[in-house]
């Protein structure tokens, strides 16, 4: 049995949903179909999830949002018409949305989750109706009825372990099951969503729950590329990569796949295949536990911007017991998470996403560090990018770091920070944001040259 997940662009219009149906009909092992909300039809279109966020926020602010509500209904209506489904399904969706906007708004997180999740939920109902209209044996499955239980953290759900046993029972059901991505229910019955992009997580949980032989993740590119195609011209296609490599690259800016989504599939050793809805014949990228790393020790180069660093210097910092703990405690007290802490003998930098640090927090943190840690110097620098070189073969290949640094130096990119992850699957360079694209291009040329595919 295979679990096939279709992302937003794969279910954005009637035309796309017809392709989904053909893909499912082409392989009888594709028994569980996980769907996103309708995504963008063109590059300047708006995803239904974003329309829904606007709808929810307007309701909270003004207590009414008729225009925003109609915009969402219109998207489903145009899909239903394109699929010749008739008015009934549109009325069901309109009624569902009207019920959701009338929900209790006193807890904004819970209210927003109700609204956001409708994107996937209604799309799953619509797609199931379309499959049935084509004579397919298919049905919509609700995550609560299937037992997909999650923690009660609005917008940030984590799957609860008992879900896997519940979901395993789906194996016994007949026909194709159409399952909405992006949300589950707390054991008390509250709807809770995963973080943005979370339909990938639903697919992975289901694949693990039903012990699928393969988790197929359908998107709109033929494969995962070794670098961002908007930065590097025609980057090589990755044919095979490991879970760890995909996780590191997704974390560092590859937007193909949600970085947390791999964990459930990985724990059960279920292979994942990223495929293209618009070209299902292409083999896609296989994500597996191990690969042969001799030929390509490096598999990809990612870049992510929007970082800042809190730089701290104190003479003999290395000898002061508890310094690191106290420093991180100050950051924790502000509810901030950090990404890296490269350190030297007398200095250390804490690197974090800069959107977490507004002016007031920055002032409080700097004041406390000065006062409580009696440092010689402390300051914040903004506008950093992190460039990450990823590859399982790096730890037993000599010279990767030196090749990378000399490529960057030839390109005139100043390296502010280097961090070799403890796992040695990745090497991170902190550089100024304005140099990020040049850095990626120079590293790409160094490690991949004119390669077109990475086996």
Residues that bind ligand ASP (CB under 6 A): 8, 36-37, 47, 49, 119, 181-182, 196-200
Least distance to ligand ASP from the beta carbon of 123, Å?
Answer: 9
User: What length does the chain have?
Assistant: 455
Nearer to ligand ASP, 197 or 391 (CB): 197
Nearer to ligand ASP, 93 or 400 (CB): 93
Distance from C-alpha of 307 to C-alpha of 285, rounded to nearest angstrom: 30
Q: Least Å distance between CB 214 and ligand ASP? A: 19
End-to-end CA distance of the chain: 26
Q: Which residues contact 336 (CB under 8 A, 6 or more apart)?
A: 352, 356, 357, 361
Query: Which residue lies nearer to ligand ASP by CB, 196 or 451?
Result: 196
CB of 15 to ligand ASP, least distance (A): 19
User: Backbone dihedral region of 221: left (phi > 0), alpha (psi from -120 to 50 degrees) or beta?
Assistant: beta
Between 65 and 256, name the residue whose CB sits nearer to ligand ASP: 256
The least CB distance from residue 306 to ligand ASP, in Å, is 18
> What is the spatial distance between Cα 341 and Cα 351, in angstroms, rounded to a whole number?
6
Our CB check for ligand ASP shows the closer of 188 and 355 to be 355
For ligand ASP, which is the closer residue by CB, 219 or 442?
219
Place of tokens 């199931």: 128
Least Å distance, CB 82 to ligand ASP, is: 20
Contacts with 227 (C-beta within 8 Å, 6 or more apart), sequence order? 235, 300, 301, 302, 440, 444, 448
| Separation CA 101–CA 105 (nearest Å) | 9
If the CB atoms of residues 120 and 435 are measured against ligand ASP, the closer one turns out to be 120
Residue 138 has φ and ψ, to the nearest 5°, of -145, 150
Q: Whole-number minimum distance, CB 342 to ligand ASP, in Å?
A: 32
What's the rounded Cα separation, in Å, for the pair 9 and 17?
A: 10
Minimum distance of ligand ASP from residue 174's CB (angstroms)? 27
- Distance, in Å, from the CA atom of 325 to the CA atom of 302, rounded to the nearest integer, reads 30
């Amino acid at each position: 049995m295979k679990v096939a997940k279709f992302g937003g662009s794969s279910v954005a219009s009637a035309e796309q949903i017809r392709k989904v149906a053909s893909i499912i009909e082409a392989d009888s092992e594709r028994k569980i179909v996980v769907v996103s909300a309708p995504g963008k039809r063109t590059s300047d279109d708006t995803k239904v999830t974003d329309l829904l966020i606007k709808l929810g926020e307007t309701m909270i602010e003004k207590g009414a949002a008729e225009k925003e509500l109609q915009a969402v209904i219109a998207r489903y209506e145009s899909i239903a018409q394109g699929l010749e489904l008739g008015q009934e399904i549109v009325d069901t969706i309109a009624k569902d949305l009207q019920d959701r906007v009338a929900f209790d708004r006193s807890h904004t997180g819970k209210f927003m989750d109700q609204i956001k999740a409708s994107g996937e939920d209604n799309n799953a109902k619509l797609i199931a109706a379309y499959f049935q209209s084509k004579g397919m044996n298919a049905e919509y499955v609700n995550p609560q009825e299937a037992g997909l239980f999650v923690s009660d953290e609005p917008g940030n759900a984590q799957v609860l372990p008992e879900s896997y046993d519940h979901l395993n029972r789906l194996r016994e059901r007949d026909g194709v099951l159409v399952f909405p991505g992006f949300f589950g229910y707390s054991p008390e019955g509250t709807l809770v969503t995963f973080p943005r992009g979370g339909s990938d997580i639903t697919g992975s949980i289901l694949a693990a729950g039903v012990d699928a032989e393969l988790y197929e993740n359908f998107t709109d590119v033929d494969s995962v590329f070794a670098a961002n195609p908007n930065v590097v011209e025609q980057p090589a296609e990755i044919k095979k990569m490991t879970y760890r490599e995909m996780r590191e690259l997704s974390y560092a800016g590859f937007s193909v796949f949600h970085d947390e989504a791999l964990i459930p599939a990985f724990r059960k050793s279920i292979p994942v295949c990223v495929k293209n809805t618009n070209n299902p014949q292409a083999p896609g990228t296989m994500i597996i536990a191990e690969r042969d790393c001799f030929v390509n020790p490096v598999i990809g180069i990612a870049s992510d911007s929007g970082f800042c660093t809190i730089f701290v210097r104190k003479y003999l910092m290395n000898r002061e017991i508890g310094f690191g703990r106290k420093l991180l405690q100050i950051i924790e007290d502000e509810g901030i998470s950090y990404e890296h802490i490269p350190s030297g003998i007398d200095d250390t930098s804490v690197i974090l996403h800069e959107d977490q640090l507004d002016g007031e927090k920055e002032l409080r943190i700097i004041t406390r560090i000065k006062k409580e840690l009696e440092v010689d110097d402390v300051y914040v620098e903004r506008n950093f990018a992190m460039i990450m070189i990823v590859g399982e073969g790096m730890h037993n290949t000599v010279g990767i770091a030196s090749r990378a640094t000399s490529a960057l130096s030839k390109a005139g990119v100043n390296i502010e920070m280097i961090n070799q992850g403890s796992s040695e699957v990745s090497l991170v360079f902190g550089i100024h944001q304005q140099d990020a694209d040049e850095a990626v291009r120079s590293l790409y040329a160094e490690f991949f040259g004119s390669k077109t595919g990475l086996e």
